[in-house]
Amino acid sequence: MDILKSRRRFLAGLAAVGVFGPLTQCGLARMALAGQNQQAKLKVVFFVVPDGLAVDSATAYSSDGRGLWHPAAEALDTSDFQLNEVSQELAAYKNQSLYLRGTILGPGNEGHNGWTWALRDREKKMASIDVLLGRHMPGTDPSQRSLFAGPHSGIDGTAWQVSWEGPENGGAMRRPEQDPVLMYEKIFGAVSREVREQQVRNMHVFDPVLADINELRGRLAGAQKQKLDMQLDSVEQVMKDMEETLPPIGECSPLQMDTLPFKSAEFRNQVQHHHHQVVATALGCGITRVATIQVGRSAESLNILDVSNVTNPHDCAHRYAGLDVWKRSRQWYTQRAKLFMDELAKHADPDVPGDSLLEHTLVVFTSEMADGAPEHTKDMPLVLMGGASGLLKSGDGAGRYFNITAQGDRQQEGNPVIGNKMVDMQRIWATIARAAGTVVPYNGNIDPVSGLFTNV
What is the CATH classification number for the domain harbouring 170? 3.40.720
Which pLDDT belongs to residue 80?
Answer: 98
Biggest CA-to-CA distance, the chain: 69
**182 CB-contact burial (10 Å; exposed 0-12 / middle 13-18 / buried 19+):** middle
Containing structural domain, residue 138 = 41-184+253-435
Which pLDDT belongs to residue 252?
Answer: 79
Does the structure show a pLDDT above 50 at 258? Answer: yes
Tell whether 62 is covered by a domain: yes
Runs of H (alpha helix) within 266-379? 268-284, 313-317, 323-346
- Alpha-carbon dihedral 28, 34, 35, 41, rounded to 10 degrees: -120
Which pLDDT belongs to residue 173?
Answer: 97
Tell whether 310 is covered by a domain: yes
Tell whether 8 is covered by a domain: no
Tell whether 258 is covered by a domain: yes
Tell whether 199 is covered by a domain: no
Q: pLDDT band for position 240 (50/70/90)? A: low
Which pLDDT belongs to residue 241?
Answer: 59
Which pLDDT belongs to residue 228?
Answer: 65
Does the structure show a pLDDT above 90 at 203? Answer: no
Which pLDDT belongs to residue 205?
Answer: 56
Q: What is the mean pLDDT of residues 165-189?
A: 94
Those residues whose C-beta lies under 8 Å from the C-beta of residue 212, and which sit 6 or more positions away, are: none
Q: When comparing pLDDT for 430 and 194, which is higher?
A: 430
Q: Give 355-387 pLDDT, tens digit per residue.
A: 999 999 999 999 999 999 999 999 999 999 999
Tell whether 151 is covered by a domain: yes
Of 159-168, 205-214, 330-339, 422-431, the least confident = 205-214
Q: pLDDT band for position 189 (50/70/90)? A: confident
| pTM, to two decimals | 0.83
Exposure on the CB side of residue 275, measured as CA atoms within 13 A: 30
Tell whether 237 is covered by a domain: no
Contact in structure between 250 and 354 (CB atoms under 8 Å): no
Query: Structural domain tally of the chain?
Result: 1
| Amino acid present at 236 | E
Q: What is the mean pLDDT of residues 189-195?
A: 52
The SS3 of residue 46 is: strand
Of 233-242, 399-408, 440-449, the least confident = 233-242
Tell whether 450 is covered by a domain: no
Does the structure show a pLDDT above 60 at 24? Answer: no
Phi, psi of 53 (to 5 degrees): -125, 35
As a whole number, the mean pLDDT across the chain is 87
